[in-house]
């Protein structure tokens, strides 16, 4: 990601109020499936933003590593984890995902919300432990105009269809998929 993109994301996060404890939750697409998410193990939150999903996983009992290109978002995520009492189970790092996923072992949950980089598809699947859960969402061309950061119709199921798909949808400019390895 270019320095200009990082600056843009920093500004976007800096212009918003810090996340509140009430903001802590799974991304909306996955909320109906909250009971599928484990209560222990390791999680990786790719493009974690301000950490609301990562902190939800930590409150559930998981140890979570969140990464995002924006240092401003990472600081907000660390602060939120502290205010929610789960800082010891959360690690947040600023990193450019153009270089790939952060080093680490297999994870029981891999959350990737509203971020799409096709170059990471194989790495995302490879990072899942046997039985691990992948929750991925992205902007979509379905119900919206095409764009460079939008998934094509069927793209997520094509990319991750070798996994056991629990649920997926494409509508109103968003695509998402929940699957188990």
**Is residue 1 predicted with pLDDT exceeding 70?**
no
The structure's pTM equals 0.94
Cβ atoms within 10 A of the Cβ of 42, count?
A: 20
Percentage of residues in the chain with pLDDT exceeding 70? 99
- Summarised one tens digit per residue, pLDDT across range 45-71 is 999 999 999 999 999 999 999 999 999
* Domain coordinates in residue numbering, the chain: 3-180
Cα angle at 42 between 89 and 50, to 5 degrees? Answer: 55
- Which pLDDT score, from 0 to 100, does residue 17 have? 87
CATH numeric code, 3-180: 3.40.50.150
| Mean pLDDT for all residues in the chain | 94
Q: Which helix (H) or strand (E) holds 11?
A: helix 3-14
Query: In terms of DSSP bridges, do strands 42-46 and 128-139 run parallel, antiparallel, or are they unpaired?
Result: unpaired
- Residue 133 · residue 122 · CB < 8 Å: no
What is the Cα gyration radius of the chain? 15
**What tokens were used for 67?**
């990464």
Q: How far is CA 94 from CA 5, 10, 143, in A?
A: 13, 11, 32
């Amino acid at each position: 990601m270019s320095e200009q993109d990082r600056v843009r994301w920093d500004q976007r996060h800096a212009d918003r109020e810090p996340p509140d404890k009430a903001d802590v939750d799974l991304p909306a697409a996955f909320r109906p499936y909250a009971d599928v998410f484990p209560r222990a193990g390791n999680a990786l939150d790719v493009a974690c933003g301000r950490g609301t999903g990562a902190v939800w996983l930590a409150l559930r009992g998981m140890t979570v590593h969140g990464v995002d290109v924006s240092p401003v978002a990472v600081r907000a995520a660390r602060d939120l984890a502290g205010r929610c009492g789960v800082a010891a189970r959360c690690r947040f790092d600023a990193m450019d995902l153009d270089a790939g996923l952060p080093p680490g072992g297999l994870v029981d949950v891999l959350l990737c919300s509203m971020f799409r980089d096709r170059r990471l598809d194989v790495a995302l699947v490879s990072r899942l432990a046997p039985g691990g859960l992948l929750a991925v969402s992205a902007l979509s061309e379905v119900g919206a105009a095409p764009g460079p950061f939008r998934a094509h119709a069927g793209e997520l199921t094509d990319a991750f269809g070798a996994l056991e798909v629990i649920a997926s949808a494409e509508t109103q400019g968003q695509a998402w998929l929940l699957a188990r390895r």
